[in-house]
């Protein structure tokens, strides 16, 4: 198939408007998608992408505008109506049930039954056929889905979409948790689907992916379409960024002034956990950024979670400023001045239903205690100071956390540790799900923290990000340190070569 070129649109969304109390989320959005194409939907956090796909998925109903499907105007009153038409959505936060099998997840909500009884063999056969269609026959329908890798769970979500005979699949940040090889396999699956005539709406903050997988691009800004139908491979990345942000952004990292000559602040020696990583040692000085590079599953997150005390080490020690920390104690780590911004901020770091102020102050509540009660005025003043300093938008400290974009949520996690006055900051995937404008701000903030004397450790699946932010780099492979050295002395190809060889340099 010619990937949608010249075909009549399968979907047309015209002048879509959606209002929430006090907020105009969509102020006139246009989007058309052709059969067999990958249509990339881009925009900064808060641009309206999530609201638009929820309108298309039947979760929200538009206040104005029209939706045309296969030439006929439709109204999607609920999610089932969208699925009945063949519109399936794979959200960034995968909605799989970990305790159920692969087959049960694929057919959840439309189980294969006869006379009221579950047809398990038929369910398994159909699930296996869908997995073969996606090029992953190695995934067993009887496997509990919670035991699969992130990439495997992504495939199960696609199989679920296809089980509804999907003609249009919306993929929200599908590559966010995948390493380079898994992303390439994802692209192979997408190409197979579009060759069968399935249309894909692809949302990603990784702009380099757009040229590889996309056919056309639509850009949203402030709830409006600023460009649509742009050719993905011919439109310069700089132009896409300008459309997204309203300004030109040089996608570069802040300059590194050099590490001050000082004694190490954080010292990790011989750290290990059975089955995860072994004999990991490194030091970080005040004012230094140490990057941990490696593929997803290499043990990077497990290492820094163990340093933070969220996992108990079975070997080795962690010291801050010469004092050994109690093994497996988050409290001891925080007391020593360590802060962690974890990989999954929504589930691991934030109280989404609570206020911005409380999410900022939660690691420092004793600071605001007065005679057994909290001084809420002092708490709010401290939160407001952090919100102003980090340019969190919107700035209201009483807003629910869930209403903030990904980039602003990440700033709140950072604000928590800034308020606490941490001396060692551990950052796991600091820009996952963050748009290009907010990325630049976070990069600048990390460098500003280092310049103020904080010792920073950065974990990222994007090797370019690790090399660009760090003064020194550790390459991690299968739970071992394969290389350690200055970031300036190694490039992305060398990192991948070390990982593929798997031997310590």
109 cis-preceded (ω within 30 degrees of 0): no
370 in a structural domain: no
143 in a structural domain: yes
| pLDDT given at position 480 | 94
Nearest to 52 by CA among 81, 23, 31, 22: 31
Residues 33 and 182 in one domain: yes
Range of the domain at 149: 89-166
- Residues 23-42 pLDDT 10s: 789 999 999 999 999 999 99
Tell me the CA distances in angstroms from 190 to 171, 178, 194, 456, one per residue in order: 10, 15, 6, 38
> Which among 151, 166, 181 is the end of a domain?
166
Tell me the CA distances in angstroms from 473 to 308, 323, 465, 484, one per residue in order: 19, 24, 11, 6
Residues 464 and 324 in one domain: yes
Residues 160 and 174 in one domain: no
Residues 24 and 51 in one domain: yes
- Residues 444-470 pLDDT 10s: 899 999 999 999 999 998 888 899 999
> Which among 166, 185, 201 is the end of a domain?
166
C-alpha torsion angle, residues 266, 345, 463, 169 (rounded to 10) = 170
- What are the two backbone dihedrals, phi and then psi, of residue 146, each rounded to the nearest 5 degrees? -65, -15
| pLDDT given at position 214 | 96
- Residues 51-65 pLDDT 10s: 999 999 999 999 999
Of residues 279 and 110, the one with the higher pLDDT is 279
Give yes or no for residue 350 having a pLDDT over 50: yes
State the Cα–Cα distance between residues 480 and 52, nearest whole angstrom.
43
Give yes or no for residue 380 having a pLDDT over 80: yes
Residues 179 and 59 in one domain: yes
| Residue 260 contacts residue 461 (beta carbons within 8 Å) | no
Residues 296 and 197 in one domain: no
Residues 112 and 20 in one domain: no
> Which among 166, 187, 207 is the end of a domain?
166
Of residues 391 and 505, the one with the higher pLDDT is 391
- Residues 134-143 pLDDT 10s: 778 899 999 9
Residues 116 and 186 in one domain: no
What's the number of domains the chain is made of? 3
- Residues 199-253 pLDDT 10s: 999 998 788 889 899 999 999 988 999 999 999 999 988 888 888 877 665 556 8
* Domain CATH number, residue 446: 3.40.50.300
Residues 71 and 191 in one domain: yes
369 in a structural domain: no
Residues 106 and 36 in one domain: no
463 in a structural domain: yes
Residues 2 and 68 in one domain: yes
Residues 93 and 68 in one domain: no
């Amino acid at each position: 198939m010619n990937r949608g070129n010249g075909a009549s649109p399968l979907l047309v969304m015209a002048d879509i408007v959606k209002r929430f109390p006090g907020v105009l989320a969509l102020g006139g959005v246009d989007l058309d998608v052709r059969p067999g194409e990958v249509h990339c939907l881009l925009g900064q956090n808060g641009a309206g992408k999530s609201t638009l796909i929820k309108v298309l998925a039947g979760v929200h109903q538009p206040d104005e505008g029209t939706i045309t499907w296969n030439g006929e105007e439709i109204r999607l009153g609920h999610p089932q109506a969208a699925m009945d038409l063949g519109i399936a959505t794979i959200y960034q936060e995968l909605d799989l049930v970990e305790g159920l099998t692969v087959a049960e997840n694929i057919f959840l909500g439309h189980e294969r039954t006869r006379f009221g009884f579950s047809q398990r063999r038929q369910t398994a056969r159909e699930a296996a056929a869908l997995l073969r269609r996606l090029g992953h026959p190695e995934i067993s329908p009887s496997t509990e889905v919670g035991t699969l890798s992130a990439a495997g769970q992504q495939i199960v979500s696609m199989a679920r979409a296809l089980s509804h005979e999907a003609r249009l699949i919306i993929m929200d940040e599908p590559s966010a948790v995948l390493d380079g090889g898994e992303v390439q396999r994802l692209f192979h699956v997408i190409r197979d689907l579009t060759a069968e005539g399935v249309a894909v709406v692809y949302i990603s903050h990784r702009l380099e992916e757009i040229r590889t997988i996309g056919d056309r691009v639509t850009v949203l800004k402030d709830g409006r379409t600023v460009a649509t139908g742009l050719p993905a491979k011919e439109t310069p990345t700089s132009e896409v960024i300008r459309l997204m942000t309203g300004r030109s952004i040089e996608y570069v990292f802040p300059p590194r002034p050099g590490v001050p000559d000082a004694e190490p602040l954080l010292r990790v020696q011989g750290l290990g956990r059975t089955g995860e990583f072994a004999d990991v040692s490194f030091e970080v000085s005040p004012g230094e950024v140490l990057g941990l590079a490696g593929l997803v599953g290499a043990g990077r997150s497990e290492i820094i979670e163990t340093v933070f005390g969220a996992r108990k080490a079975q070997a080795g020690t962690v010291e801050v400023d010469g004092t050994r920390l109690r093994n497996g104690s988050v409290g001891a780590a925080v007391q020593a001045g360590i802060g962690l911004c974890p990989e999954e901020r929504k589930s691991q770091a934030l109280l989404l239903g609570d206020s911005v102020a409380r999410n900022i102050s939660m690691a420092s509540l004793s600071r605001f205690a007065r005679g057994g009660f909290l001084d809420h005025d002092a708490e709010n003043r401290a939160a407001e100071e952090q919100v102003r300093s980090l340019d969190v938008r919107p700035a209201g400290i009483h807003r629910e956390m869930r209403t903030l974009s990904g980039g602003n949520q990440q700033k709140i996690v950072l604000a928590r540790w800034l308020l606490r006055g941490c001396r060692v900051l551990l950052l796991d995937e600091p820009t996952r799900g963050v748009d290009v404008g907010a990325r630049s701000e976070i990069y600048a903030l990390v460098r500003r923290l280092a310049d103020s004397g904080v010792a920073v450790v950065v974990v990222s699946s994007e090797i370019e990000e690790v090399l660009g932010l760090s003064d020194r780099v550790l390459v991690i492979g299968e739970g071992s340190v394969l290389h350690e050295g200055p970031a300036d002395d190694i490039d992305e190809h060398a990192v991948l070569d070390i990982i593929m060889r798997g031997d310590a340099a």
